[in-house]
Amino acid sequence: MLAKVNQNEEALTRLAGDIAQTDGNHSTRIPALMIFRRSSATDPMPCIYGLGLALTVQGDKRVTLGEEVYDYGPGQSLITTVDLPVVSYVTQASTAKPYLGIRLELDARTIAQSAAEMEFAAPLKVSTTRALSIVTLDEGLRDALTRLIQLLAEPQLIPFLAPLIQQEIIVRLLNGEHGPTLRHLVAVGSPSQQIAKAVAWLKQHYKENMPMDDLAATVHMSPSTFRQHFRAVAGMSPLQYLKNLRLQEARQLMLNEDMDASSAAVRVGYESASQFSREYSRLFGEPPQRDIKRMRESI
Amino acid sequence: MLAKVNQNEEALTRLAGDIAQTDGNHSTRIPALMIFRRSSATDPMPCIYGLGLALTVQGDKRVTLGEEVYDYGPGQSLITTVDLPVVSYVTQASTAKPYLGIRLELDARTIAQSAAEMEFAAPLKVSTTRALSIVTLDEGLRDALTRLIQLLAEPQLIPFLAPLIQQEIIVRLLNGEHGPTLRHLVAVGSPSQQIAKAVAWLKQHYKENMPMDDLAATVHMSPSTFRQHFRAVAGMSPLQYLKNLRLQEARQLMLNEDMDASSAAVRVGYESASQFSREYSRLFGEPPQRDIKRMRESI
DNA sequence: CGGATGTTCGTCGAATCAGGCAATAATTGA
DNA sequence: TCAATTATTGCCTGATTCGACGAACATCCG
């Protein structure tokens, strides 16, 4: 048994390495599947994780959400259910043994369906859980992922088999340790789902300046309950979340569209450039101008 | 506006009448859709209603569930979310103006999906609701149903358009007065859903003799909570429900397969023929032999 | 029915945030 | 190089948000 596990692990490493022969983010013919490779440890990189499963195959990766630190190494998987602004960095990688990671986006509809059909699932005990969790991959999941990647070698079969394997992965996730996290997300009317909707709303309308109490009302919660559950799910307060979103978007605007700081500030919903600058420094370590310059140079 | 409503109602009546030109149950090219016609009032007829929507177009119909009586006439719709052993009969029908009814089976998967995607739906207030409810049809729903029936005239389009209209109907149901009833059914982990699963289990395994407390355990409820919710959803106690299922199945066996009473009794899980006979009389009004004879003659 | 458990919600003090203004630093273009 | 523009920082004020607490409420279970 142990032999087989090791074999699978090796197989996965080999497959991922074959596809990601160079450093960078490799998309595949399976749209939901990406493979990452890094030959050296990286600086902290703020980014947004959506509904999906991430797996470290080789090397080590660290993700921080608010104040919390999550480390996951080979054989461990990280699942996120709502868009979370995290800071991620590769902590362990070398040219000889580069970091290799897999990311698979999950489909909410499929999850909802599968969860609804799961027979006699135990009811969820706690009403809200963190939208992020780390679990050691079990054999079945690893095997399914391996098959998914092997499928890349037979492109003509992808449209037919990839959805099946993805569904299998979802069923396995729902039955495993990640299950409760996922089930919360699709439990109709549960606080978690309401928060997920609020988060989705924020992601869409981050420019607008809606008072958090109003947002709480639209998901039918009192302000205090809303805050409480939001924090439980997203790992930070609603306002912090919104700020993260705005600042990251502003960074993108400045980096990709050469926008100047004050325009970007206005664009993402800030009315005061000074406030923008202040909070930008707090999140990214340096004020807008300098941060962008550094980013440009580091490439 | 009123003119249009009346127009729609008339259109629906005409369409249903066109399809159901003779008395009986008419299935259509849309598998989920059936149309009923009766030229006279009928005797009480015990049967099982599953997940679906029933609509009286012309005439009047009565349905009893346990002790409760539900009447629905033209323009009213009855929705059921789990299999319920009801007694139904047409109360108002004539040759000139026959009873006309429509039944549309709903797809649980589609409901689950749509419910999950409904934005900012109010959370469900009560934890369990009766799996059966009657609501006056609103205009949008009537219109969608009308279009669904009109579609029968263009068979080549059915595979493409019928699913769309059915989904529209589900969305409208979820947003209407029936909404809470349906949402309960698909709320992952809710007592209603647990009960729905128990009901499904019973429907499958009614022959086995599982203690109700064990069944309660498999859906993760204490016996008392199970009984309470079961009653709220199904309108009768678990044991009554089981009896209904068994007796109706036995009746089918005797009618369709000419099985004798004691064999049928054993077949559906009774160990004592006398107990079977007693309960049979209580449900159908007459003991097995005589009931079957009467049924045969009445055809 | 009644005790035990967990959830919601309003309130409150403390903390944080947003924006205004002004001074200073950095960058850009002439 | 200087001047003009833009970015950054400090500080202040009012508004908002945060998180904790306890009462009210619903649910579960025996």
| Per-residue pLDDT reduced to its tens digit, B131-157 | 999 999 989 999 999 999 999 999 999
Nearest to A114 by CA among A171, A193, A196, A175: A171
Q: B188-236 has which fold? A: Arc Repressor Mutant, subunit A (1.10.10)
Query: Which among A169, A162, A150 has a CA at the least distance from the CA of A14?
Result: A150
Look at B49 and B121; give whichever has higher pLDDT.
B49
Is residue B259 classed as helix, strand or coil in its secondary structure?
Answer: coil
Residue in chain B nearest A218 by alpha carbon: B120
Token pair listed for B32: 């989920």
Q: Which of the listed ranges A8-12, A100-104, B271-275 does the model predict with the highest average pLDDT?
A: A100-104
**Neighbouring-strand partners of residue B156:** none
Nearest-CA distance B124 → chain A (Å): 7
Judge if the beta carbon of A225 is closer than 7 A to nucleic acid strand D.
no
Strand D close to A280 by CB, under 7 A: yes
Q: Which residues on B lie below 8 Å from A117 (Cβ)?
A: 109
For chain B, which residues make up each domain, given as ranges? 2-184, 188-236, 240-297
Which residues in A lie closer than 8 A to residue B110 (C-beta atoms)?
A: none
Q: Say which range, A132-136, A189-193, B7-11, B92-96, has the weakest mean pLDDT.
A: B7-11
A220 neighbourhood in chain B, CB within 8 Å: 120, 122-123
- pLDDT, residue B2, reads 44
Residue of A nearest to B186 (CA): A116
Q: Do A188-236 and A2-184 fall under one CATH topology?
A: no
Range A150-162 average pLDDT: 94
Determine the 3-state secondary structure of A81 from DSSP: coil
Pairing of strands A52-58, A45-49: unpaired
Give, in Å, how far the C1' of C14 lies from the CA of A208. 27
Q: What's the topology of domain B240-297?
A: Arc Repressor Mutant, subunit A (1.10.10)
Angle at A191 between CA A85 and CA B124, to 5 degrees: 150
The structure tokens 């649980």 sit at: B108
Quote the pLDDT of residue B1. Answer: 46
- From the list A120, A190, A197, the residue facing B120 with the nearest CB is A197
Q: What is the pLDDT of residues B163-189, one digit of tens each?
A: 999 999 999 999 988 888 999 988 888
From chain B, pick out residues whose CB is under 8 angstroms from the CB of A194: 123
For range B109-129, the mean pLDDT: 84
Write down the mean pLDDT value for chain A: 91
Question: Which of A117, A129, A188, A190 is best to mutate for the B interface (most B CBs within 10 A)?
Answer: A188
**How many residue pairs bridge chain A and chain B with CB atoms within 8 Å of each other?**
67
Q: Which of B188, B214, B225 to mutate to test the interface with A (most CBs of A within 10 A)?
A: B188
Three-state DSSP state, B30: coil
Q: How many helices, marked H, and strands, marked E, lie in chain B?
A: 12, 10
Q: Which CATH superfamily is domain B2-184 in?
A: Jelly Rolls (2.60.120.10)
What percent of chain B lies above the pLDDT cut of 90?
A: 59
Give which of B257, B250, B256 is closest to B287, Cα–Cα.
Answer: B250
Smallest CA–CA distance, residue A113 to chain B, in Å, is 6
